[in-house]
Structure 1
Amino acid sequence: MTVHLIAVQAAMRLADYRDAETFAARVLELAERAVAGLDGAPKLIAFPETIGLPLLLTLGPSGSDYGRVAGSGRVTEAAQRLLQTYWRAVLGTAWRFRALGPEALFLARALPAYRAYTAAFAAAARRTGATVVAGSSFLPHIELEAVRGTHIADPRVYNVAYTFAPTGTLLDRTAKRYLTPGLESHLGLSRALPEAQHTFETPVGRVGVAVCLDGFYSSVVDRFDALGAQIVVQPSANFAPWTRPWPPDPSVTEGEAWLAWGLRAHLQGRLHLRYGINPMLVGGLFDLQARGRTSIVCNARLHDAETEGYRGVLKLAETDDQEEIVRVIVPLKPRCRA
């Protein structure tokens, strides 16, 4: 059979997070653009890392805080404004869950952000009939249960990606294992255990999700291949200039390093893995500027391709700072061919 693999290089704009309805409309617009004109073959749409994160700043238990944070020059300033207003609630959350620092703020605002994030992507999956990997957000483990309703079941906060079936039901939650030094490691986020990174069946094949930095680690991709995954989705957000010298090796650029040593490289020679989808975030939020060229890559042993001199690249976004939809239609054969 053939399947459509689609990566959304989405632009981050604070105005899109004004309230839950605005966010849902924005996600739906992107999803409908992603599938426009395609035939009835199974589809997978992948969104970038942290696309749900701004909801933690703009949505609170009492409603929208967009007006409160919109004038901030920095993310830290926006967080300080919220703390000044809701310090009692944050302190109560910190005491209840024994949480410290930014983690307490995330927990105090987790439920409204979770509801808006999951509702938006579930609706997009239903409308488009596609499997949707909904980027990620910083959230604890949240459960829906008859007596307690929607509640925080485990207060540890993760960078977690949700995946929705074409029916709009939740298929999987995959938390990030390897945290980005500095940014994530200072925010009180927890690391996923290796066994939390699993694979799951979808209409486009068996999928594994590696949130950003996880896709650079061979052990993560090893595990997905051993579990029989055919596709790895790597939602990413890179807050560094795409053309800057790469700090570990200044002889190459940031963008060259992603292609040379990232998911494309780790797919080569695999037994089961055929394709990788790496949607990148672009645009600006306060002082954060996201840059990156979205890519769809392949195991060249099973599906030969080359783009811009890189073997195993099916398609690249044209820019590193503009919103784009990157999509391919590819064959999907039985998982194992020795």
Structure 2
Amino acid sequence: MSAPAPQSQPEQPTPERPNADRHFRVIAVQPQWSAADFTSAAAFRAWMRSQLELSRPHLAPDRPNLVVLTELNGLPLVLRGMPLAARAGTFERAAALLFLRHLPRALPVLLRERVSPIRALQLALSGPNTRLYLETCRDLAREYGVYLCCGSAPLPRYHLAGWRLVREPRTLHNETVLLDPHGDLIGVADKVHLTPDEEAGGVDLTPGPLAGLRVFPTPVGDLGVAISLDAFRADVIGRLEEQGCTVLLQPDANGAPWTSLEGLPPDPAKVRDQPVAWLESSWQATAAGGGIRYAVNPMVVGNLLDLTFDGQSAITGPAADAPAPRSYVLTPPRPGFLALLPWVEEGEPERLREVGRQLAACSGHPRENRYRTGVLHADLTLPPTHLPSPPRTPHEEALAALLRGQATLPPARPNWPLLGLAALVGGVAWGLLGRKR
């Protein structure tokens, strides 16, 4: 497959043209993932490239393009090199197999940093997985000539020590990385409000600080990131609005059937349909008439082991910019949806809920895992920005150096006493597993 021609970039505001409006296109990709996409570096690169290829027919040749990918699209990289875990059937079994497979690397982290086994596993594998994730995204941003919201991935906090990146102990954020068309870093944003599946009982991530959220002025909007649940939270939206956000990016991975009922923290008793809940995020942020004019909310679909992911990707904005009223399934039509990917069916609520159960992981139905994928785009216009770019954090300086090839992630140094203990524990565990079989 031939690479796309570099996208021509129109003139942007300069000191000589300070009042030029910004005309640009935003693109939201709704992909389907599977565990097999993460078992090798080649498979991961192919899956990520496929999303840019889906975007390719929608790229505008006469203006900058912003492509927005989905939440936690780097999380399953822990499966890399372990096809057996990808076929384990459940997340818990896969995690156990992975921990045993990588015990010599994960156990020293667990003992030294006093973290949970699942966080120790991710931290132990974070060096090569961070490099693969960032370099893949960098290369795609360059090749397709786009501004790229990479989605999000579990990333440690780094700082530079000479030409090496040094990892901060214990810390592992759900983090979005923003790149420009040269593959250079614009900035990063950490998820502040974690779901129960992201907390200690699940993949065990570190919540980001609210004060760390910033807005990044670019030719494709004054970008603020609110990863999934963050876009539902008034403190996050308020902070981004205070800093001048005009385009909200909401990468998402909704881990439930789209037509099921749910209760969101901090009020799980407030049960409603998933699509009703989603109206309280991007759509509400742009419908409120505040400083956030547009929002882009791509959602990943697909059954990952025994986990179900589903949703409807959307681009929202002022009612005057939108076509006829429309909305998510199970909700009445309303103004403000500039683009909306249809769900797999339209119909009565009970029928839609049944279809959601059929699609879900482990349903055994012929329609299991047959979700809808697609791409949305919208052409947007904003006045010129007068916001200054925020200063880079030490973590951003480290990632920027890595992306430029000016720094590297060193391999983990073996701790021989702990590795000996790891081998002993691994042998005992393997013996016990063998007896159970």
State the TM-score, normalizing by the size of structure 1: 0.90
Alignment partners' CA distance in 1, 2:96 and 2:262? 32
User: For residue 162 of structure 1, what is the amino acid of its counterpart?
Assistant: V
Quote the residue 1:61 is aligned against: none
Specify which of 165, 168, 173 is matched with residue 188 of structure 2: 173
Q: In the alignment, what sits opposite 1:13?
A: 34
Residue among 366, 377, 395 paired with 1:327: 377
Letter matched to residue 323 of structure 1: T
Report the Cα offset of residue 151 of structure 1.
3.5
Q: Which moved more, 1:184-193 or 1:113-122?
A: 184-193
Whether 2:287 is the aligned partner of 1:265: answer no
Please give the alpha-carbon distance, in whole angstroms, between the structure 2 residues aligned to 1:311 and 1:26. Answer: 34
Partner of 1:51: 73
Unpaired segments of 5 or more residues in structure 1? 59-63
Is residue 2 of structure 1 aligned with residue 23 of structure 2?
A: yes
Tell me, yes or no, if the aligned pair for 1:156 and 1:190 is still in contact at 8 Å: yes
What amino acid does structure 1 have at the position aligned with 2:92? T
> Whole-Å Cα distance in 2 between the matches of residues 22 and 144 of structure 1?
30
The question of whether the paired residues in 1 share the 8 Å contact of 2:321 and 2:338 is answered with no
| Alpha-carbon distance between aligned partners in 2 of 1:293 and 1:24, rounded to the nearest angstrom | 24
- Give the equivalent residue in structure 2 for 1:114: 130
Residue 162 (structure 1) aligned to one of 177, 184, 187: 177
Matched, 1:125 2:144: no
Map 1:72-151 onto structure 2 (within 5 A).
72-143=88-159, 145-147=161-163, 149-151=164-166
Q: Distance in 2 between matches of 1:71 and 1:33?
A: 27
Two-structure CA RMSD over aligned residues (Å) = 2.1
| Contact 1:273 1:299 survives alignment (8 Å) | no
Residue among 258, 281, 289 paired with 2:308: 289
Aligned residues of 1:234 and 1:276 also touching (Cα < 8 A): yes
Who wins on radius of gyration, i.e. which is larger? 2
Pairing 1:318–2:342 present: yes
CA contact (8 A) 2:39 2:79 kept: no
Question: Alpha-carbon deviation of 1:44?
Answer: 0.7
Mapped to 2, the partners of 1:57 and 1:144 lie a distance apart of 28
- Structure 1: which amino acid aligns with 2:78? L
Secondary structure in structure 2 of the residue aligned to 1:307: coil
Once the two structures are superposed, what CA deviation does each residue of 1:105-151 show, in whole Å capped at 9, x if it has no partner? 1111111111111111111111111111111112211345434x244
Query: Are the equivalent residues in 1 in contact too, given 2:198–2:205 (CA < 8 A)?
Result: no
2: CA distance, partners of 1:167 / 1:94: 38
Letter in 2 for 1:326: L
CA-CA distance at 1:154 after TM superposition: 4.4
* C-alpha deviation, 1:167, in angstroms: 0.6
| 1:325 Cα deviation after fit | 0.8
Q: Is the 8 A contact 2:301 2:373 kept in 1?
A: yes
Q: Distance in 2 between matches of 1:104 and 1:7?
A: 33
Q: Deviations for 1:210-268, whole angstroms, at most 9, x for unmatched residues?
A: 11000001121111111111101001111111112344555x52113212x22211223
Higher helix share: 2
> 1:298 aligned to 2:298?
no
Q: Which residue of 1 aligns with 2:199?
A: 184
Q: Does residue 255 of the first structure (1) align with residue 270 of the second (2)?
A: no
Distance in 2, matches of 1:280 and 1:18, equals: 22
What is the distance in 2 between the residues matched to 1:335 and 1:222? Answer: 19
Amino acid at match of 2:304: L
1:228 maps to which residue?
A: 244
Distance between the aligned counterparts of 1:29 and 1:205, measured in 2?
25
Change (3 A) 1:87 1:246: closer
Q: Read off the aligned partner of 1:127 and give its amino acid letter.
A: E
In structure 2, the partner of 1:152 is: 167
2:56 to 32, 35, 38: 35
Other-structure match for 2:411? none
Work out the CA distance in 1 between the residues paired with 2:157 and 2:334: 39
After TM superposition, the score normalised by the length of structure 2 is 0.70
Distance 1:188 1:16 in 2: 22
2:195 maps to amino acid: T
282-291 or 149-158: which moved more?
149-158
Q: Is the 8 A contact 1:132 1:166 kept in 2?
A: yes
Give the counterpart letter for 1:164 in structure 2: L
Between the aligned partners of 1:143 and 1:112, the Cα distance in structure 2 is 16
- Aligned-pair distance for 1:270? 3.9
Distance 1:86 1:314, change over 3 A: same
Alpha-carbon distance between aligned partners in 2 of 1:25 and 1:146, rounded to the nearest angstrom: 33
Identity of aligned residues (%): 29
Q: Provide Cα deviations, 1:157-208, integer angstroms capped at 9, x if missing partner.
A: 1111111111111221211100102443423321111111111122202101
Equivalent residues of 1:240, 1:290 under 8 A apart: yes
Name the SS for the 2:172 alignment partner. strand
Q: 1:181 and 1:85, CA in 2 relative to 1: closer, same or farther beyond 3 A?
A: closer
Displacement, 1:277?
0.5
Structure 1 residue 334, shift from structure 2 partner? 4.4
